[in-house]
Amino acid sequence: MSKPSILMIDDDESSLFVAENLLVNTFKLLTARNKKNGLSLLKEQHSQIKLVLLDLNMPDIKEFELLHLIRATYPHMPIIILSYVHNIQTVVEAMRAGANDFVTKEEASTVLLKRINQYILTNEPAKPSKTESDNTELYIPNHPAYRDIYDIALKFARNGLDFLIQSDTGTGKTALVNYIYKALKPAGLLVDINCGGIPESLAESEFFGHEAGSFTDAKNTSVGKFELANKGILFLDEIGNMPLTIQQKVLKAIEDKKITRVGSNREIQVDFLLIAATNEDLEKAVQSKRLRKDLYYRMGKPMLKLPSLNEYPEVIPEFIHFFVHQFNKKYNKQVILPPTLVQKLQNRHWDGNIRDLQKIIKIVIACYPDLSVIDYLLTGAETHTNTKTGGQPHLEDKLHHLKVSEITTALQKHHGNISQTAQSLGIKRTTLIHQIAKLGIDYKTFRNN
């Protein structure tokens, strides 16, 4: 499976070296050191190039000229500006000229891969999938513990190696499988089976399909999940809860890559990548005779473990930022959580992991500006620090909300124009810029309002 291509246009050798080593595991990096080479590579390979990384300061061209040119010729091409210039005017100008994003070179090593992934993996229309997780946007924290697992999983998948994900509930097993599917772009579907959710009596038909008339309710021929996953990915979730009676047939189907529909004698060849997942210790399932030993040995290795949210609390703010953005979009709001609340959430113990955090952020955004809901949600939560304020929002939080509300209202009114907004608020432009940065307001969102 070939890696998606990215074109980087930059005259600085060191920047190219950094990007090359940063992206080597996930993308194929094409490089151009000037306008002419960049445009000619784009012309030749634009159907393969998924994104352009563009420097603004190159000797043979004016600051935004190349950006204008690329945007005019390739209107749907995602363009990320990668520059060490990051004053607000340049950022605003770049976005107006059609850039999708702006990453400063000093933050490249920490955020570039994540931003690229967001554009390539979430903005690209996915192939049809049978999973209900299609609408789930992907987020991979910029942390080695997560990045490594995603990289290894992708390497296994690219080499056609089946694997098992054994992790606590809510740690992102389905998200990882979706990521693999979107990165691999196989010809077939991503088919997921919740092995614990299928009644024993229907399991064989669900897994392998049936011929019309093979049993009382079988009025039509039905294709099973294994057959549906042909040329794609078969995701067996909660493998430890698979009905015992079906396990031998499942093992045979996995080993031989052949299935037989219920009521038929004809063997059908299938080819898929198998990813299994569980949140329990499968050895115990084997000991308690719920899982066949031979099936465990076939599917138990290699095994990947996604970290729980409590292991790396430093990634919590990243997830919060992502979910806030996701639900702001969904509920058409522009909520910015105060730092004290982010801190509270970071200090909380997350039994339900990412799924739990996502649910809480969803409720907070949906109910905003009713701050009482936040205290209600966190009341009784296990925290490492005593941050409870007796049901009353902290004064710092109130001031934060007041400032955010005033500034965002004014920005909205003036369509993100900094000078006009500052004037209407009666403060200096520089003060406004400072406040925008301090409060974490994404002023770009107001540009098109």
- Which residues of the shown chain bind other proteins in the complex (CB under 8 A)? 12-15, 17-18, 21-22, 24, 57, 84-85, 104-106, 108-110, 144
197 exposure class (CB count in 10 Å sphere: 0-12, 13-18, 19+): exposed
Measured over the CA atoms of residue 398, residue 400, residue 402 and residue 408, the dihedral's sign is negative
Report, in Å, the least distance between residue 132 CB and other proteins. Answer: 35
Would you state the structure tokens that stand for residue 355, as one six-digit string?
């799924």
Report, in Å, the least distance between residue 24 CB and other proteins. Answer: 8
- Cα–Cα distances in angstroms (integers) from residue 222 to residues 75, 99, 259, 352, in the given order: 43, 48, 13, 36
Report, in Å, the least distance between residue 4 CB and other proteins. Answer: 19
The smaller minimum CB distance to other proteins, of residues 106 and 132, is found at: 106
The smaller minimum CB distance to other proteins, of residues 83 and 358, is found at: 83
Report, in Å, the least distance between residue 184 CB and other proteins. Answer: 23
HSE-CB at 12 with a 13 A cutoff on CA atoms is 14
What pairs with residue 51 in β-bridges? 6
Strand, helix or coil at 435? helix
Would you state the structure tokens that stand for residue 243, as one six-digit string?
């009905």
Rounded Cα–Cα distance for residues 321 and 246 (Å): 43
The smaller minimum CB distance to other proteins, of residues 155 and 384, is found at: 155
Rounded Cα–Cα distance for residues 72 and 432 (Å): 33
The smaller minimum CB distance to other proteins, of residues 59 and 369, is found at: 59
Inter-residue contact 407 to 421 (CB < 8 Å): yes
Report, in Å, the least distance between residue 21 CB and other proteins. Answer: 5
CA angle 151, 258, 236 (to 5 degrees): 40
Inter-residue contact 164 to 299 (CB < 8 Å): yes
Residue type, 15: S
Report, in Å, the least distance between residue 17 CB and other proteins. Answer: 5
Residue 357 contacts by C-beta under 8 Å, 6 or more apart in sequence?
309, 316, 319, 320, 323, 345, 350
Residue 294 contacts by C-beta under 8 Å, 6 or more apart in sequence?
251
Whether the ω angle into residue 369 lies within 30 degrees of 0, i.e. cis, is yes
Inter-residue contact 211 to 259 (CB < 8 Å): no
Report, in Å, the least distance between residue 90 CB and other proteins. Answer: 10
The smaller minimum CB distance to other proteins, of residues 105 and 414, is found at: 105
Q: In which residue are the tokens 């093979």 written?
A: 214
Report, in Å, the least distance between residue 86 CB and other proteins. Answer: 9
Report, in Å, the least distance between residue 142 CB and other proteins. Answer: 10
The smaller minimum CB distance to other proteins, of residues 22 and 251, is found at: 22
The smaller minimum CB distance to other proteins, of residues 51 and 103, is found at: 103
Report, in Å, the least distance between residue 106 CB and other proteins. Answer: 4
Residue 321 contacts by C-beta under 8 Å, 6 or more apart in sequence?
none
The smaller minimum CB distance to other proteins, of residues 111 and 373, is found at: 111
Residue 72 contacts by C-beta under 8 Å, 6 or more apart in sequence?
none
The smaller minimum CB distance to other proteins, of residues 17 and 376, is found at: 17
The smaller minimum CB distance to other proteins, of residues 33 and 292, is found at: 33
